[in-house]
Amino acid sequence: MKVAAMFADGSAGTVDRPDPQPIDDFVLVKIHSVPMCTEYKGFKNERDQDAVGFGHEAAGEVVELAQPGRVKVGDRVVVQPQLGCGRCWLCLDGEHIHCQNGRRLPEGQTAGQTYAQYILKPDWLLSPFPEDISYDHASMACCGLGPTFGAMQKMNVNALDTVMITGLGPVGLGGVVNAHYRGARVIAVESQPFRAKLALELGATAVFDPSNEHIQDQIMDLTGGLGVDKAMDCSGASAAHRLMVESLRRKGQACFIGQGGDFPLGASRDMISKGIGLHGIWHYNLSHFPALIKVIGQVEGQLDKFITHRFGMSRVEGAWKQQSTGDAGKVVLDPWA
């Protein structure tokens, strides 16, 4: 099979690897759609050797089983990220993303990443979806819409809320889609012009530049001096964390989604006096997948705007270069082109 690779000379392309074989509950999935995430950051860095093994998002088709299980050949499935153990209380509760034990691929197999034509995955981490949803759209149930969907489930975002989203990379833009679907008013914070414009097209009411020294006043003016009801940071930037906490109304809620640096948090000033709730969100509970795939089926027009670029995996270098410009929403690879 073909897999994506970064080469020591700074270029990228594909290399051949042995086709994986299903074993025990590990199922062989033919990948049809690969959403790209932060792997491009590694492409931008210098390296002294070739590198393979990228990606954690995909949608595909079950093509071979080693034993009867929870999926069957021909099922169209979303490939969930990570490898939970499947036995601990977190995995059994649908929170495999936080599993403390983890699991390894079967001995001799290396097909654990999604920038590839095939992947091995335990059957319980494959989420079937209906025929009337495309592979590209279904694949947004990973990082495209998944983390912010989990945040909105946690905070019960609804049409009465004003929601602020800081950081409009693909995860933050997916948050705009999720919040707009729920009828919430969306305030976004982003300095990159392409993404700011795309957020407005996806349903944001306003997009503020974080470098504006009056941004806090702008947010308060737009919320009648009260602050936002709910907020989520998808940037991981310490300044965005601070802005998010300061922009919350009394008894508001916020979710930290973007991985990043630390920031000063005053327990009395920020949390106790305001009575706010702060949450860490990485993914969504797997029991909520049916609800998410239902949302996906109802926002297909939005997703066609959200997915701004498609590349064959043979052109992965061009895809990583496009991501590096910042002028992109969600970028999707076709492993077979």
Q: What is the DSSP string of 173-235?
A: HHHHHHHHHTT-EEEEE---HHHHHHHHHHT-SEEE-TT-TTHHHHHHHHTTTS-EEEEEE-S
| Exposure on the CB side of residue 315, measured as CA atoms within 13 A | 13
- What burial class does residue 273 get, using C-beta atoms within 10 Å of its C-beta: 0-12 exposed, 13-18 middle, 19+ buried? exposed
| d(C-alpha 7, C-alpha 232), whole Å | 36
| Exposure on the CB side of residue 239, measured as CA atoms within 13 A | 10
Residues 6+ apart with CB under 8 A from 165: 148, 172, 175, 176, 179, 186, 187, 188, 189, 204, 231, 232, 233, 234
Q: What's this model's pTM, rounded to 2 decimal places?
A: 0.96
As given in the structure block, the two tokens for residue 290 are: 């049916």
> In this structure, which amino acid lies at residue 167?
G
As given in the structure block, the two tokens for residue 310 are: 């498609």
pLDDT tens-digit profile, the chain (337 residues): 999 999 999 999 999 999 999 999 999 999 999 999 999 999 999 888 999 999 999 999 999 999 999 999 999 999 999 999 999 999 999 999 999 998 999 888 889 999 999 999 999 999 999 999 999 999 999 999 999 999 999 999 999 999 999 999 999 999 999 999 999 999 999 999 999 999 999 999 999 999 999 999 999 999 999 999 999 999 999 999 999 999 999 999 999 999 988 888 999 999 999 999 999 999 999 999 999 999 999 999 999 999 999 999 999 999 999 999 999 999 999 999 9
Residue 38: predicted pLDDT: 92
Q: What is the DSSP string of 36-96?
A: --TTHHHHHS--SS-EE-----EEEEEEE-SS--SS-TT-EEEE-SS---SSSHHHHTT-G
φ and ψ at 316, to 5 degrees?
A: -60, -30
